[in-house]
Structure 1
Amino acid sequence: MDNSTDNWDPALTRLLSSLKEVQSDGEDVAFLSELLQSKQLHALVQVHNKIVAAQCKDDKFYPLLSNAMQVTLEVLEMFGEVVISSNEYKELLKLLQKPHFQAILCTHDAVAQKDYYPHLPDIPADADDEEETVKIVQLVKSDEPLGATIKTDEETGKIVIARVMHGGAADRSGLIHAGDEVIEVNGISVENKSPADVLSILQSSEGTITFKLVPSFGKGGSRESKVRVRALFHYNSAEDPYIPCKEAGLNFKKGDILHIVSQDDAYWWQARREGDRVMRAGLIPSRALQEGRIIHERQIDPQTLDGKAALCSPSAANSDCGPKTPCSPTPNATALLPCKSTPKVKKIIYDIKENDDFDREMIPTYEEVARLYPRPGLIRPIVLVGAPGVGRNELRRRLVATDPEKYVTPVPYTSRAQKTSEQNGKEYVFVTREKMEQDISEGKFIEHGEYKGNLYGTSAESVETIVNSGRVCVLSPHWQALKMLRTPRLRPYIIFIKPPSLKTLSETRTAANARSTFDKESSRAFTEEEFADIIRSSNRINFLYGYMFDEEIVNEDLATALTQLLKMAWRVQSEPLWVPAAWVQ
């Protein structure tokens, strides 16, 4: 270890020395060794040690007195017994008698004595011991929602706590739990009242809110889940007629990482957006509920199968919880679930003839994810997918040209005859049709197709060879190949190349004198119909396979798109990124 590491934490240094004695060359040991030698880690440990050392000094973190105001009064009493004519005495006496100074001392004592918590009222002396057990809870009202929803119990007709939002004020108090019966709010009985009436009492209350509750005898609370998911659809709680409480909803966009903190409710999960500083969870539709909604949509509006409709929930004429109505569960939510089992995708091999019908059975809602940390030997392929003519092949060629030693494209296979000017293994790998058909039937090709009676394809082995060599494999396959590429073994980073608007697409390609990729026999410009086909095909691909995409690039200008692609290529090899949880298990 060089001189620059002399001041490193001795505990980490000993751990690193012990690790080097382990006779193992596994990826985990290599990753841990690299982490322990990181200067950033040692800097963080030093900061931690300094904070711990500072906390051991009581004079910096604890008040010397908790009765400063009483001491001041005693000093004033002593001053009254003597007569001193100095100016210093008069100035001190005037200062100690100022209301603002005395208010500061009172505040100091309140903090020192921790006299800032709400005071619970005393239990009435005439309380009957045989009466039902109750608890009295006081919460300070602020701009933050209380973080609990109420409902009317269907059997008893009483008002009960429906759910407690993780991280909210009610949850942090530790005193309010789902199932508790509400008897009074601020001294007002809620007997024979509706949730709307209770909500009005809460809205008109100021300062502290006092609840009298009959505690439930169920579980006192659930532990916070550690599950993270990637949202595969957009959600706006304000547009959802079935959410129990719109104010408690959590809005998110497709691609957001959500921390699912509770799945206790079959239809409404509690979640937070990963990285948000707001610790209060919000309500989102569960996987079962969202799948049922999508199935319902597809049954009543077949256009959704082609990605033409973007609604995420069926419309409803009435809802039990509007913007100003009580937070009660929706009784007819179960009607949205015509199918309880998750539809399975048919396993068929990709063919040049487009056959995406089976992919319509996929109902993407949430995908459980975990962070994948870069480490030596982990090289993720970069996959560019998009509609024909959008420019994904040109972007692939330009990316490879920036560093041919780092970025490599696998050589395709073909069954056609080799030309005299061609070298086997350079332009193509030439094999017999029989051999290629056999390998296709055995699933050795990630994509294949037929053109003018000859087979073409990309083998899975060629991709793995590039990855194992420590180089970055760059692919621009047909979109149906994603089903075979997106595996825990390859762990690809998939980038969707998206066209700009139809007008911009036509203007930019015409200005660049782009040649049509639809006509392989001659070199000509794109037609307006071909531009429209690019847009339609792109929307269809995004609808059917968008849940697989990690990023997207709008290819309006090739130079700008290449710059974005280079940044993404750097991130995927150097930063921890969210991937399907199965890839890191």
Structure 2
Amino acid sequence: METSTENWDPALTRLLSSLKEVQSNGEDVAFLNELLQSKQLHALVQVHNKIVAAQCKDDKFYPLLSNAMQVTLEVLEMFGEVVIASKEYQELLSLLQKPHFQAILCTHDAVAQKDYYPHLPDIPQDADEEEETVKIVQLVKSDEPLGGAQSAEPIVGATIKTDEETGKIVIARVMHGGAADRSGLIHAGDEVIEVNGISVENKTPADVLTILQNSEGTITFKLVPSFGKGGSRESKVRVRALFNYNPAEDPYIPCKEAGLSFKKGDILHIVSQDDAYWWQARREGDRIMRAGLIPSRALQEGRILHDRQTDPQTLDGKPALCSPSTANTDCAPKTPCSPTPNATALLPCKSTPKVKKIIYDIKENDDFDREMVPTYEEVARLYPRPGFVRPIVLVGAPGVGRNELRRRLIATDPEKYVTPVPYTSRAQKPSEQSGKEYVFVTREKMEQDISDGKFIEHGEYKGNLYGTSAESVETIVNTGRVCVLSPHWQALKMLRTPRLRPYIVFIKPPPLEKLVDTRTAANARSTFDKESSRAFTEEEFNDIIRSSNRINFLYGYMFDEEIVNEDLARALTQLLKMAWKVQSEPLWVPASWVQ
């Protein structure tokens, strides 16, 4: 039966009629005849005609929204809070998590946000060398900073300074996304001759700011252009901030009003690194297009190192705990003690050494950790991949409850959440089965694997080696299940690699008073004494707080999230939401993991 051509495009209909008049039975004609009668071709022609008609009318198309991916993530978050046993629900959930579908939404958002405009090349220098070229730029006064070395005033989105060699007023920097940047006519290095017809010769930046303050409406600049120093192309670098910053409290920032405040963990879009000391950045997701000033990596590292050298007995502003020791011993002093002369990292004090069966890297290297100066970490989005879920790593101080949280998470779905079976060199008991409680290997084999870096953590207890292999973690990941680990914090150096891509959650204790109250109310048993069941002592509670502070100081830059374990049920709920997010949402990870 022939397809109805009642609503077909006239041109398509005429073409089909002409084809029928051709007296030929060739395969090409038959194929063309079938193609011209297809509904798909007819639909494409209709879309084409509508677009052409709209363009002829000079109509413009506008997206309904520019954050389709964000809306999808919000929908997925809502789905994570409820479970509906229906085929349609499962089908929609599966569709929204597909990488190709999410990639389409991200592309839609990029187009909707017009993140595709080309950058024009710099204007070539054609001016006569014997004549000074002057440009007149007129801008509308707005709530954007233009400031000097000592003060600032919201004007046009640029900063000025006195050139040290010539003594003239020049544009120090142009803030990306501001009015001056959008004009494309003002560049760093341009010499300011006049502002609103007033000469700035022999004036200070503060004098120029006064002129700008008293200006109304438009502001006219007469500038001598600095050729070869045009606006730089906006960078695409994203970083995770590893410290808090408030420009209002920074006495050295060139213009406080131009500064960008942020908190540890914020994702920043670094748009310019032209200045060795002050970068320009925007918080990722902010609607404000104008960038702000933040300290560069080199500047911030220098500040942190200066603070550490000035006060080597502090851990992030807290008193040092005690000097380093080997992996298999604890600190004996009951009071805070002085660090070693080389200011290496510090271990929590304990009242008396206790024998505990713990696993961690024998080669503890706090010297290396102490030298880490976390400022910014370059990141990129890692999208969920079907059949591969990032391992979830719970790290925290002994006694904080991370192992209990791991057990409870696994208990919610033992088929989905799995912990790797540890390896050991001890002899296998008759009642044991290798691969169930432990994987039993010879000491020689285990020592060789440790030497080859095949274990993410290992330790010795009563003359026998114990450890967790990277291969066992990969085996769980490659089967589509979620590997859950609660290693010693030293294992993070082996775990946080592009090979494993872990999602690290810091389990943090509540304040000391709450810690004592909640554990006492729950009749919690001490994890420091394996020989008997008893309550935590006051000193052990203090050890938990001190050790937690130390872990956060040394490894906080590695953490993706943190959970305050005040109430175990609430902490488990938070952990389940994080586990869902790891499986379903694109997340920021070190850039090297997605290259």
Worse-matched range after superposition: 350-359 or 454-463: 350-359
Change in CA separation of 1:337 and 1:310 when aligned onto 2, cut-off 3 Å:
closer
1:84 Cα deviation after fit: 74
Contact 1:149–1:327 (CA under 8 A) maintained in structure 2: no
Change in CA separation of 1:331 and 1:241 when aligned onto 2, cut-off 3 Å:
farther
Match of 2:269 in 1: 259
1:60 Cα deviation after fit: 8.4
Worse-matched range after superposition: 540-549 or 112-121: 112-121
Change in CA separation of 1:402 and 1:183 when aligned onto 2, cut-off 3 Å:
same
Worse-matched range after superposition: 72-81 or 232-241: 72-81
For residues 525 and 326 of structure 1, the distance between their equivalents in structure 2, rounded to whole angstroms, comes to: 24
Match of 2:72 in 1: 72
For residues 507 and 478 of structure 2, the distance between their equivalents in structure 1, rounded to whole angstroms, comes to: 26
Q: Provide TM-score, normalisation by structure 1.
A: 0.73
SS of residue in 1 equivalent to 2:314: helix
Contact 1:246–1:323 (CA under 8 A) maintained in structure 2: no
User: 1:246 and 2:250 equivalent?
Assistant: no
Change in CA separation of 1:120 and 1:58 when aligned onto 2, cut-off 3 Å:
closer
Change in CA separation of 1:86 and 1:342 when aligned onto 2, cut-off 3 Å:
closer
Change in CA separation of 1:361 and 1:94 when aligned onto 2, cut-off 3 Å:
closer
SS of residue in 2 equivalent to 1:162: strand
Contact 1:55–1:61 (CA under 8 A) maintained in structure 2: no
Change in CA separation of 1:113 and 1:388 when aligned onto 2, cut-off 3 Å:
closer
CA displacement, residues 107-143 of structure 1 (integer Å, 9 cap, x when unaligned): 9999999999999999999999986321111111123
1:32 Cα deviation after fit: 30
For residues 553 and 449 of structure 2, the distance between their equivalents in structure 1, rounded to whole angstroms, comes to: 31
Contact 1:229–1:258 (CA under 8 A) maintained in structure 2: yes
Worse-matched range after superposition: 26-35 or 59-68: 26-35
1:479 Cα deviation after fit: 0.6
1:38 Cα deviation after fit: 24
Q: Provide TM-score, normalisation by structure 2.
A: 0.72
Worse-matched range after superposition: 180-189 or 68-77: 68-77
CA displacement, residues 470-493 of structure 1 (integer Å, 9 cap, x when unaligned): 111110000110111111111111
For residues 485 and 143 of structure 1, the distance between their equivalents in structure 2, rounded to whole angstroms, comes to: 47
Worse-matched range after superposition: 75-84 or 568-577: 75-84
1:578 Cα deviation after fit: 0.5
For residues 91 and 198 of structure 2, the distance between their equivalents in structure 1, rounded to whole angstroms, comes to: 53
For residues 296 and 398 of structure 1, the distance between their equivalents in structure 2, rounded to whole angstroms, comes to: 44
Worse-matched range after superposition: 86-95 or 6-15: 86-95
Change in CA separation of 1:213 and 1:20 when aligned onto 2, cut-off 3 Å:
farther
CA displacement, residues 3-38 of structure 1 (integer Å, 9 cap, x when unaligned): 999999999999999999999999999999999999
Contact 1:296–1:314 (CA under 8 A) maintained in structure 2: no
1:424 Cα deviation after fit: 2.0
Contact 1:234–1:312 (CA under 8 A) maintained in structure 2: no
Change in CA separation of 1:86 and 1:136 when aligned onto 2, cut-off 3 Å:
farther
1:461 Cα deviation after fit: 1.2
Alignment RMSD, CA only?
Answer: 19.6
Change in CA separation of 1:419 and 1:533 when aligned onto 2, cut-off 3 Å:
same
SS of residue in 1 equivalent to 2:477: helix
For residues 193 and 575 of structure 2, the distance between their equivalents in structure 1, rounded to whole angstroms, comes to: 61
For residues 514 and 554 of structure 1, the distance between their equivalents in structure 2, rounded to whole angstroms, comes to: 17
SS of residue in 1 equivalent to 2:298: helix
Match of 1:225 in 2: 235
Q: Which runs of 5+ in 2 are unaligned?
A: 147-156
1:240 Cα deviation after fit: 1.0
Contact 2:424–2:467 (CA under 8 A) maintained in structure 1: yes
CA displacement, residues 28-87 of structure 1 (integer Å, 9 cap, x when unaligned): 999999999999999999999989975653478999999999999999999999999999
SS of residue in 1 equivalent to 2:315: helix
Q: Which runs of 5+ in 1 are unaligned?
A: none
SS of residue in 2 equivalent to 1:155: coil
For residues 398 and 69 of structure 2, the distance between their equivalents in structure 1, rounded to whole angstroms, comes to: 80
Question: Equivalent pairs: percent with the same residue?
Answer: 93
1:149 Cα deviation after fit: 0.5
Contact 1:241–1:318 (CA under 8 A) maintained in structure 2: no
CA displacement, residues 183-236 of structure 1 (integer Å, 9 cap, x when unaligned): 111111111111111111111211111111111112321100000011111111
1:170 Cα deviation after fit: 0.5
1:465 Cα deviation after fit: 1.0
SS of residue in 2 equivalent to 1:170: helix
Contact 2:360–2:458 (CA under 8 A) maintained in structure 1: yes
Change in CA separation of 1:132 and 1:70 when aligned onto 2, cut-off 3 Å:
farther
Contact 1:243–1:330 (CA under 8 A) maintained in structure 2: no
Worse-matched range after superposition: 131-140 or 309-318: 309-318
Change in CA separation of 1:64 and 1:373 when aligned onto 2, cut-off 3 Å:
closer
Contact 2:425–2:466 (CA under 8 A) maintained in structure 1: yes
Match of 2:199 in 1: 189
CA displacement, residues 476-518 of structure 1 (integer Å, 9 cap, x when unaligned): 0001101111111111111111111111111101101110000
CA displacement, residues 233-256 of structure 1 (integer Å, 9 cap, x when unaligned): 111111111111111111111110
Contact 1:199–1:326 (CA under 8 A) maintained in structure 2: no
Change in CA separation of 1:393 and 1:87 when aligned onto 2, cut-off 3 Å:
closer
1:420 Cα deviation after fit: 3.5
Change in CA separation of 1:99 and 1:288 when aligned onto 2, cut-off 3 Å:
closer
Change in CA separation of 1:262 and 1:122 when aligned onto 2, cut-off 3 Å:
closer
Contact 1:321–1:328 (CA under 8 A) maintained in structure 2: no
Contact 2:333–2:350 (CA under 8 A) maintained in structure 1: no
Contact 1:242–1:330 (CA under 8 A) maintained in structure 2: no
SS of residue in 1 equivalent to 2:59: helix
CA displacement, residues 257-316 of structure 1 (integer Å, 9 cap, x when unaligned): 000000111111110000000000001111111111111111111034466289999999
Worse-matched range after superposition: 184-193 or 342-351: 342-351
Worse-matched range after superposition: 111-120 or 383-392: 111-120
Change in CA separation of 1:24 and 1:582 when aligned onto 2, cut-off 3 Å:
farther
SS of residue in 2 equivalent to 1:59: coil
Contact 1:243–1:329 (CA under 8 A) maintained in structure 2: no
1:330 Cα deviation after fit: 36
Contact 1:260–1:271 (CA under 8 A) maintained in structure 2: yes
1:321 Cα deviation after fit: 47
CA displacement, residues 309-354 of structure 1 (integer Å, 9 cap, x when unaligned): 8999999999999999999999999999999999999999963475
Worse-matched range after superposition: 152-161 or 420-429: 420-429
Return the match for 2:545 from 522, 527, 535.
535
Contact 1:414–1:455 (CA under 8 A) maintained in structure 2: yes
SS of residue in 1 equivalent to 2:318: coil
Match of 2:82 in 1: 82
For residues 84 and 388 of structure 2, the distance between their equivalents in structure 1, rounded to whole angstroms, comes to: 82
1:89 Cα deviation after fit: 64
Contact 2:97–2:584 (CA under 8 A) maintained in structure 1: no
Contact 1:371–1:576 (CA under 8 A) maintained in structure 2: yes
Worse-matched range after superposition: 374-383 or 186-195: 374-383
Change in CA separation of 1:124 and 1:458 when aligned onto 2, cut-off 3 Å:
closer
SS of residue in 2 equivalent to 1:335: coil
1:419 Cα deviation after fit: 3.1
Worse-matched range after superposition: 73-82 or 477-486: 73-82
Change in CA separation of 1:38 and 1:475 when aligned onto 2, cut-off 3 Å:
farther
> How many aligned residue pairs are there?
585
Contact 1:19–1:33 (CA under 8 A) maintained in structure 2: yes
Contact 2:197–2:220 (CA under 8 A) maintained in structure 1: yes
Worse-matched range after superposition: 466-475 or 13-22: 13-22
User: 1:518 and 2:528 equivalent?
Assistant: yes
Contact 1:352–1:449 (CA under 8 A) maintained in structure 2: yes
Change in CA separation of 1:85 and 1:574 when aligned onto 2, cut-off 3 Å:
closer
Worse-matched range after superposition: 89-98 or 252-261: 89-98
For residues 445 and 78 of structure 2, the distance between their equivalents in structure 1, rounded to whole angstroms, comes to: 108
1:152 Cα deviation after fit: 0.5
For residues 389 and 255 of structure 2, the distance between their equivalents in structure 1, rounded to whole angstroms, comes to: 45
Change in CA separation of 1:235 and 1:104 when aligned onto 2, cut-off 3 Å:
closer
Change in CA separation of 1:220 and 1:404 when aligned onto 2, cut-off 3 Å:
same
1:370 Cα deviation after fit: 0.5
1:430 Cα deviation after fit: 1.9
CA displacement, residues 157-185 of structure 1 (integer Å, 9 cap, x when unaligned): 00000100000010011111111100111
Contact 1:445–1:459 (CA under 8 A) maintained in structure 2: yes
Change in CA separation of 1:324 and 1:153 when aligned onto 2, cut-off 3 Å:
farther
Worse-matched range after superposition: 136-145 or 327-336: 327-336
Contact 2:332–2:349 (CA under 8 A) maintained in structure 1: no
For residues 505 and 443 of structure 1, the distance between their equivalents in structure 2, rounded to whole angstroms, comes to: 38
Contact 2:242–2:375 (CA under 8 A) maintained in structure 1: yes
Contact 1:346–1:358 (CA under 8 A) maintained in structure 2: no
